Structure 1
Amino acid sequence: MRNRHVDLLLNPWLSDTIRLRAKVIQFLRQYLSDDGHIEVQTPILADTAGGAVARPFTTTATEFQDRRISLRIAPELWLKRLILGGFEKVFEIGPSFRNEGIDLNHNPEFTTCEFYRTYVDLEGLMSKTETMFLRLSRVVATTLQYECRNIPPQEIDFSPPYRRLDFIPAVEAAVGQQLPDLTSLVAQSELLALFNDKGITLPSLPTVPRLLDKLSSTYLEPQCITPTWIINHPECLSPLSKSFIHPDNQQRVAARAELFIEKQEFVNTYEEENSPEEQRRKFEEQLLHHEGDPDAGVDESYLQALEWGLPPTGGWGCGIDRLCMLFAGTNRIADVLSFGTLRNVVALRQSSKKS
């Protein structure tokens, strides 16, 4: 792996994987452009990482030596500012960074595709995704047949409609009991009791969002072999999305959907929260679940931007690397990156120093 150029010369499957990646990105760019989206580039360096909950990479700039500069962890808030500025459909394909671990599925530097468009609801976003993935699967099939013949085709049926799992009812069915009111003061203690009763390993820092995320990964995600939507997440898991009272259980849930295939997440999409007051409330409640986290905070500049009036907007994000892994039939993210993971890149530099 340290001599990636040699690997590419000797391994036709690996070089075909990189070619397939280019075809996937080309398709997404063309599909969104044909659908009226404008491709944009948003800042990678800023004074806040913004857009997701993760540990950012930080540095300093000679021009602002008294301030910490962060590499973005997601372009979301910048793209929504463009919607605020009058653009109706925008998208960006580019890198994001999270200062977290490296494993088979994760690399600190990764590529995403995000789009935002006005006047579309969650049903519309899900329908557009299903159409997009069906067309992409056909493009990939043709590519594997004629251009990347060293990659065997994947037997996945992308024909709509996809199966759906309603988060809270599906978890309750799996554990055999009702979940507590997730906005109550006793929600955490009751969830901890559930974990103890079921013998589920606790996540580190077992906050309500992390406990709910663990329930999803334990009971819901393993059910998602064929393309499956997990919908209506608890509100605390989606602070940037609109929310509503679920008519069946009276819980506060997000107008959000995640697409899983073969137990892996590929798409996260939701109706964007456009009320400055509601967004502030959700930011502040998010803080309660991140005590001691120096990177947690309320993004005042984004709240001020919302005061200008964000129209009803739908947002959509997809991890390019994982999507390429799916179509290449590999479970290693290193295989779809030109020079492997950050560990490989650093090792290459160290190897050259020794020689």
Structure 2
Amino acid sequence: MTQSTSPQFTEDRLAVRYDYLGEGHQPYPQDGHRTHTIAEALAAPIDVTVTICGRICAIHDYGTTQIFEIEDESGSIHLLMTKYETESFDKLHNFHTEDFIRAQGTRILTEDNLLAVIVDQYDMLTKTLRSLPSEDSHIGENERYLAWSKNSELRRIFRQRHWINASIRDLLDAEGYLEAATPILHSYRGIAPTRPFTTNLNSSSDTTLYLKKSSASYLKRMIVGGFEKVYEISTTFRNEEITDQNNVEGTLLECYSAYADYKDMLMLIQRLYQNAAIAATGTDIVYYDLARPDEKGKTRSKGIELNFRRQWKCLTVYEAIRDYLGIDVTSLTDVELQETIAQVKGIPVDLTDLKYKPFIRGLKVTELFKVVEPNFIQPTFIIDFPRDTTAFCKRHRTNPELVERLEVYMAGTRVGCAYTELNDPVLQREFMEDAHADKTYPIDEELIAALEYGMPPTSSMRLNLDRMVMLLTNARNIRDVILFPMIPHA
């Protein structure tokens, strides 16, 4: 038999396993039933008989009496076992800390006013072969389950994440939205600048497929097919650098509603965030440690309160640049705009784009806008982007140089967006072809065909749920809110 070489692996634990089996006992029985969780046992009246299960976190041996401290997900309790009242008392030496035990006994209150169970009989449920690392020892990212087992606060984040997801589904279901499950493998690459993950279908056609970056194409087709309100919470994939704010796998909420526009989604986003905050924390005013560099470039933490109760601030892109930089972009020539960007960013002026490439003014405006993004601390909507920024959005109803698009910011971070969706198939093809001008991959012909059958006026929104959970649980690193994040290797 091949044995582990881990320092946590101990021969005496393995010996107990073999001894148990040799005596006809099962150290890993099939039955793990209980009558009470530990929390329920603690709440039960004195003298009630309970059967509880849990992991042993401490053992106190007093000769004719032994006390085991055990815990389950609901709490912890003491098991009191005596030579005279506990069956097979002489076999308790087979237990180590971290083993799982089931104990049947009576709820008591000790002389020290300690709630405990005096045990009549017990079973070993799991014999552990490794001891858990101490709380102050280093635990690798690929063994984060060990950290959860030692620290209930780390587990709390993922309970909060569950509550957040449940609140989102509850609200959308109440609003009449239908939850969808669209394919993960796409034949269309997408026009987003992020690189996709690719694979090949093992068939004679040798078809190239892409892991999902968005459900948009499929959800729009559902609108064409007669579903008026649809949403999906799905895992999406971006083949990009892993950072504190980005993981290659992310959770995205996407919603589509017929007979609505981006202002309707603005209202929905506010309700979703407020409900999620209350679900996660019990209040719609949430504390967050905002990390910012100081004048020396060192990262400092500043506590803020994110207020989801009041009406969110709303600015156009041009208003945001004017308010935070004091620049009226509309009065600048293309050369002046390029010079202004260089001045604001503290880099040399580069007029190459003006001389040798098509100057896409809208993208330059958004480049300048990105400088002010860190200023949006409280929940903020930035609306009415230049038309060059997306191929899927309708032109603004009063200014054709803009599109009806909004982005959502808080704590200086972009967390979502919303569109009034483009539903003109002729324009959609033109915009896609423009976006694909320098690329070799095809446009989404299936989506265009669907639009040709007719899609009613539709709005959409996307929220990055990983970043939402970070903000509502006061997490600094995206890995802290993902159960098993991708771990970068050197």
**Structure 2 length normalisation: TM-score?**
0.61
**Structure 1 length normalisation: TM-score?**
0.83
Change (3 A) 1:79 1:217: same
Contact 1:79 1:116 in 2 (8 A): yes
Change (3 A) 1:14 1:261: same
Q: Which residue, 181, 192, 196 being the options, matches 2:342?
A: 196
SS of structure 2 residue aligned to 1:232: strand
SS of structure 1 residue aligned to 2:459: strand
Residue in 1 that maps onto 2:198: 58
Task: Tell which deviates more after alignment, 55-64 or 153-162.
Answer: 153-162
Please give the per-residue CA displacement for 1:44-76, whole angstroms capped at 9, x wherever unaligned.
102113373421100111125532111111111
Residue in 2 that maps onto 1:303: 448
Alignment partners' CA distance in 2, 1:181 and 1:306: 38
Change (3 A) 1:176 1:13: same
Residue in 1 that maps onto 2:305: 155
- What is the deviation of 1:169? 3.2
Change (3 A) 1:72 1:201: farther
Residue in 2 that maps onto 1:343: 487
Which of the two has higher C-alpha Rg?
2
Residue in 2 that maps onto 1:283: 432
Match status 1:24 vs 2:164: yes
Q: Map residues 311-326 of structure 1 onto 2, 5 A cutoff.
A: 311-326=456-471
Alignment partners' CA distance in 2, 1:52 and 1:127: 26
- What is the deviation of 1:245? 6.2
Contact 2:167 2:275 in 1 (8 A): no
Contact 1:271 1:315 in 2 (8 A): yes
Higher strand share: 2
Q: Which residue, 274, 281, 284 being the options, matches 1:141?
A: 281
Give the ranges of 4+ consecutive aligned residues of structure 1 lying more than 6 Å apart after TM superposition. Answer: none
Contact 1:241 1:254 in 2 (8 A): yes
Residue in 1 that maps onto 2:416: 267
Please give the per-residue CA displacement for 1:182-212, whole angstroms capped at 9, x wherever unaligned.
9xxx85x55433323434459xx98746534
SS of structure 2 residue aligned to 1:243: coil
Q: Map residues 110-125 of structure 1 onto 2, 5 A cutoff.
A: 110-125=250-265
Cα RMSD between the aligned structures? 2.8
Alignment partners' CA distance in 2, 1:181 and 1:70: 43
Contact 2:280 2:473 in 1 (8 A): no
Alignment partners' CA distance in 2, 1:51 and 1:8: 39
Contact 1:180 1:191 in 2 (8 A): no
Contact 1:245 1:252 in 2 (8 A): no
Structure 1 unaligned spans of 5+: 145-152, 348-355
Change (3 A) 1:21 1:49: farther
Contact 1:267 1:317 in 2 (8 A): yes
Change (3 A) 1:233 1:194: same
Aligned length in residues:
324
Please give the per-residue CA displacement for 1:65-95, whole angstroms capped at 9, x wherever unaligned.
5321111111111100100111011111111
Residue in 2 that maps onto 1:254: 403
AA partner of residue 256 (structure 2): Y
Structure 2 unaligned spans of 5+: 1-140, 285-302, 354-358
Q: Which residue, 213, 231, 237 being the options, matches 2:366?
A: 213
AA partner of residue 157 (structure 1): N
Residue in 1 that maps onto 2:247: 107
Determine what percentage of the aligned residue pairs are the same residue.
28
Q: Which residue, 222, 226, 248 being the options, matches 2:374?
A: 222
Alignment partners' CA distance in 2, 1:343 and 1:224: 30
Change (3 A) 1:171 1:142: closer
